[in-house]
Structures are given as C-alpha cells and as structure tokens.
Amino acid sequence: MTVLSRPLLSNSLALAAMICLLFAGAQAADNTSDAKVKVDDNSFKCITEMTPVRHFYVDNLLGNVEATAAVAKAGKGDYPEGSVLQLMPNEVMIKHSKGFNPETRDWEFFYIDVDKNGSKIFRRGFTEVNNRLGGNCFACHRLAKPEFDLVCEQDHGCAPLPVTRAMFGALQRTDPRCKNEKPVSPEDTQALKELGEIVKSLKKD
C-alpha cells in the first residue's frame, strides 16, 4: 500500500472532492429524467391560455399557478418550483426544484417549435440554449438583479432586446396552437413583418 505524505494526501483529497462536485453539477444539469418537475412536449400549451401578467404569461406545471402569478404580479421575489414564464410562444423558462441547478437559480430554458398540432422541444438546457434571435438565454437573464430571480423586464438589469411590445403581442396573438377565430390584424401583420426583418439581419451578422 502506498503511503502519501500529508500535503500530497490533502491535495489528492481536495482534487477528488472537486471532481466529485464537478461531476455532480454536470449530472444535475444534464440528467433531467430525475427532476421533480417533469417537462416534455405535452407540458406546453397555447400561450394565451396561460395566466396573463402585464405583457407576459405564467403557469405552473405542479398546479401552483396562484403562487407563480403572485410573484409575477409583485414584480420581484423567488418563483416557486414548477413555474412557467413565457413572453413569446417559442421561448420558455421553467423553474425546477431548489438546488437542481444553482448556476441558473434552478431555471431551465427551452426553445420550442409550435404549430397547430402542438409543441415540440427543439432545444432545452441551462446555460447553453439560444433564442430565435441567436442570443444565449442565460447570458441575458443572468444580468437581472438578484431580487428578480433571473427574470428580465424593463429596468431589471438585462440588456434590451431589439423587439417591441407590438411584436411580442403579435406573436402571442398568432400562436398557431391557439384557436384564433379572428383574422390577423393589419397591425399584427406589420409587426410580424418587421420582426422577420430583424431576425434576418441578426442571422446575417
């Protein structure tokens, strides 16, 4: 049996502990199958069927919608596990159990495809998911001041998006999963056209 000196033993133990911590962190980030908050394609629905708060929508996959809405209406505070936040039909934030991913304050980001038949997860993750504009979700949300629990609104500290309220509203009202009986208004048509031009210009860059 090899006997290690105390300094070497101490360093070896520290290295082993660090490796264990890194492995545990990676496992928590990547293995969502053990999560209390289960998320699949069926977890998403028409955005306007969710609870509206100001210019965005909220829900809770564990049924605690009132608690989620209360934090959203207050404008600050920690969201409960299961919380779902959406500003646009294709982009979603979902809160996991406390400690699931400390780096993102337990939020998981989703970029989903939507059509009249429902939703399909295109990308999901914690620090690596990009939005339709090509920006990294976590890189933006991490700039939010601590009291806002990584949620971006005006004056929360996040970098502004090149998208207007009119564009957000147009996307929400034309979510293909919703049963929209009214034709798309000329204002929404124009807003969506302008958004399309912005997306094209950003992709060129």
pLDDT tens digits along 112-143: 999 999 999 999 999 999 987 788 999 999 99
Which tokens hold the place of 60?
């809770």
The answer to whether 132 and 111 have CB atoms below 8 angstroms apart is: yes
Question: Measured between alpha carbons, how far is 120 from 169 in angstroms, rounded to an integer?
Answer: 22
Q: What is the pLDDT of residue 35?
A: 86
- Same structural domain for residues 86 and 3? no
Q: Are residues 135 and 175 in the same domain?
A: yes
**Structural domain of residue 171, as residue ranges?**
36-205
Residue 100, Cβ neighbours under 10 Å: how many? 21
Q: What is the pTM of this model?
A: 0.82
Domain count along the chain: 2
| Confidence (pLDDT) at 32 | 60
Q: Are 56 and 86 in contact (CB under 8 A)?
A: yes
In this structure, are 15 and 88 located in the same domain?
no
Q: Let me know whether 155 and 124 are in one domain.
A: yes
Are 52 and 97 within one domain? yes
Q: Which residues of the chain have pLDDT under 70?
A: 1-33, 204-205
Say whether both 44 and 73 belong to one domain.
yes
Same domain, 20 and 121: no
Q: What is the pLDDT of residue 133?
A: 79
Do 2 and 24 fall within a single domain?
Answer: yes
The tokens for 24 are: 């545990």
Q: What is the pLDDT of residue 143?
A: 97
Examine the domain organization and report whether 73 and 6 are in the same domain. no
Rounded Cα distance, 12 and 42, in Å:
46
Q: How confident is the model at residue 205, as a pLDDT?
A: 61
Res 135: pLDDT? 87
